[in-house]
Amino acid sequence: MRKIERTRYQRRILYVLGLVVAILFTVTGIKAVRADDETTVTVMLHKVLLDENDTTTKYDNQGTELAINDSALLNGAGFTVYDVTSLVDAGSTLSDLNKLNDTYGASYFDEKGLKVATEITGATGTKGLATFQLPKLSNGRDAKYFIIETTHPEIAKLEMSQPIFLAFPLSQDISNPVHLYPKNYQYVRDPYFYKHGKTTQGQDLGPLAGATFRLYKVDANGNKLYLHEEKRDNDNQWVDVTNPKVSLITSDKNGLVTTGNHWLPIGEYFFEEVTAPNGYLITDAALKVKVTVPADSTQPVTITVAGKTTTMPDAVVDNLIGELPQTPGEQSGILPITGEQLVGYTALGSGMILLMILVVCKHKQTTKINPKEIGGDTR
């Protein structure tokens, strides 16, 4: 009987203790930790796309979450995680793993049967994000993972990001989840040239502000597609000329015409002038300023104007001084007078004055003749 009572007493104590613990969890917000959470880590890859010329932006892989603008994140990049614990335990270093990847690619690790999981960024609904649940142990040993970018979208000429090596146990200052930032650098350029005024005699009048351009490229079917003022998922948008948001690029006070925050990947493009500053004409050359972004990143971008090719620092596109021709029925415009034109107008004015003098003299001579003397009416 005593044994039964003691058992009942012990159950009551355990019940009370369990109730107290439950109340503490509820009040303090402490959550029970599952065994799975103790043995796995959530790894979140945030795919970042940077321009090759961006030398200031840094995203260090320290495991902590960083604030990144959505415009820098890239969807559609595929990452594969490989368990390389056995290779590392056999003596392979990180340098060895990178050499294997450089030589054979991810296929080497595939053939070894080391693939753990594959994920594409953005598939979970969060831009640029790929998430993996990785065990801390591999066959009872601290796990070592090699994360390789195996695919990426064809938005520009990209190189794959460098593989990420993740070794357990992690540093104590890294919490769960772990945030990592694989980066791509796309080879892009910001083409520019300078807008100058010019007289009909070839005199350079210096920089012109207020000249407006559109930028277009020609697709495989020969259609012109114009640069949209807004980007789309890390890439430029190209639309029909009738789109109301075609980007307009205006020369500044230094005459500089640049694509600004629209960086251009490898290819050929054309600036097309649509309005000239007051008092200036749009030349034929300004209607088709060719820009070439070369495939070789060591070579400069070239600007071709009227068949003459230069590099960006020396590229100048002229507007001739003058006014646009008037359509029939409109008052004709008067062109600004240059020195050569002034000589012509002076000669024309002198001729007009001489003609007027001759007409006046002739009129006076005629009025002095008596009609009677030449057989006129004598009545």
Output the 3-class SS for 192-211.
EEEEEEECCCCCEEEECCCC
Q: How far is CA 14 from the centre of its chain?
A: 65
Q: Is the pLDDT of residue 211 over 80?
A: yes
Secondary structure (3-state) at 97: helix
Measured in degrees and rounded to the nearest 5, phi and psi for residue 63 equal 90, -10
**Per-residue pLDDT band at 353 (split at 50, 70, 90):** low
Q: Are strands 178-180 and 40-46 parallel, antiparallel or unpaired?
A: parallel
Q: What pLDDT does residue 329 have?
A: 39
What are the phi and psi torsion angles at 283 (to 5°)? -80, 165
Instruction: Provide the mean pLDDT of the chain.
Output: 78
In this structure, what DSSP letter does residue 1 have? -
* Cβ-based neighbours of 141, under 8 Å, separated by 6 or more: 85, 89
Choose the CATH number for 36-186 among 3.30.930.10, 3.30.200.20, 3.90.110.10, 2.60.40.10. Answer: 2.60.40.10
Chain CA centroid to CA 169, Å: 40
C-alpha R_g of the chain: 39
Q: Which CATH class is domain 192-321?
A: mainly beta
pLDDT of amino acid 68: 84
pLDDT at 367: 45
Q: Is the pTM for the entire model greater than 0.75? A: no
What is the tens place of the pLDDT at every residue in 137-193?
999 999 999 999 998 876 645 677 889 999 999 887 788 899 999 987 777 788 999
Structure confidence at residue 84 (pLDDT): 97
- Alpha carbon distance 92, 248 (integer Å): 55
Which range (40-44, 162-166, 318-322) has the least confidence? 318-322
Q: How many helices (H) and strands (E) does the chain have?
A: 6, 24
What is the b/e burial string over 218-229, where b = at least 16 CB atoms within 10 angstroms of the residue's CB? eeeeeeebbbbe
Distances (CA, A) of 276 to 212, 242, 290: 7, 20, 18
pLDDT at 16: 52
Q: How far apart are CA 156 and CA 236, in angstroms?
A: 10
- Please give the pLDDT value at position 302: 93
pLDDT surpasses 50 at 376: no
* pLDDT, average across residues 339-362: 47
Check residue 316 and give left, alpha or beta (phi > 0: left; psi -120 to 50: alpha): beta
Of 198, 366, 330, nearest in space to 277 by CA:
198
Which stretch of DSSP H or E encloses residue 8? helix 2-28
Residue 150, φ and ψ in degrees, nearest 5: -105, -20
Task: Identify any residues that bridge with 145 across adjacent strands, giving them in sequence order.
Answer: 83, 166
Tell whether the model's pLDDT for residue 30 goes beyond 80. no
Q: What is the DSSP string of 327-372?
A: PTTSPPP-PPP-HHHHHHHHHHHHHHHHHHHHHHHHHHHHHTS-GG
User: Lowest mean pLDDT: which of 58-67, 159-168, 196-205, 310-319?
Assistant: 58-67
Percent helix, strand, coil in the chain (nearest 5)?
A: 25, 35, 40
Q: Which residues of 104-135 are buried (b: 16+ CB within 10 A; e: fewer)?
A: eebeebeeeebebbebbbbeeeebbbbebebe
Residue closest to 41 by CA, chosen among 121, 109, 131:
131
Q: Are strands 78-83 and 115-120 parallel, antiparallel or unpaired?
A: antiparallel
pLDDT tens for residues 224-279?
999 999 887 667 889 999 999 999 999 999 999 998 888 888 889 999 999 999 99
* Calpha distance 26→31 (Å, rounded): 8
Question: What is the C-alpha separation between 371 and 296, in angstroms, rounded?
Answer: 95
